[in-house]
Amino acid sequence: MEEKKAKKITVTGVVEGVGFRPFVYRVANSLGLKGYVKNLGGSEVLIHVEGNEREIENLVEHIKRSPPSRAIIEKK
């Protein structure tokens, strides 16, 4: 059994008001991950995620590959 980890990820860009937080929640939930997504103001969102390393990496890759259509990720 893989060890559970926690990771904080800050995403910068057009990530507020475009459905980004619900998108991250749905993907994380489908991967069996726990945590939260929080607007930091301006153009940043904080993702706190808990789970196994492989699933956390899958979440990050999914965010990079398939963000909501109106989202523009400048930095992760």
CATH 3.40.1050.10 assigned to 4-75: no
Residue 26: active-site member: no
Q: What ranges do the domains of the chain cover? A: 4-75
Structure confidence at residue 17 (pLDDT): 87
Structure confidence at residue 76 (pLDDT): 64
Angle made by CA atoms 68, 73, 75, in degrees to the nearest 5: 155
- Given 39, 52, 54, 70, the catalytic residue: 39
25-76: pLDDT as tens digits: 999 999 999 999 999 987 999 999 999 999 999 999 999 999 999 999 987 6
Residue 39: active-site member: yes
HSE value, Cβ hemisphere, 13 Å, CA-based, for 25? 7
- Given 21, 52, 58, 65, the catalytic residue: 21
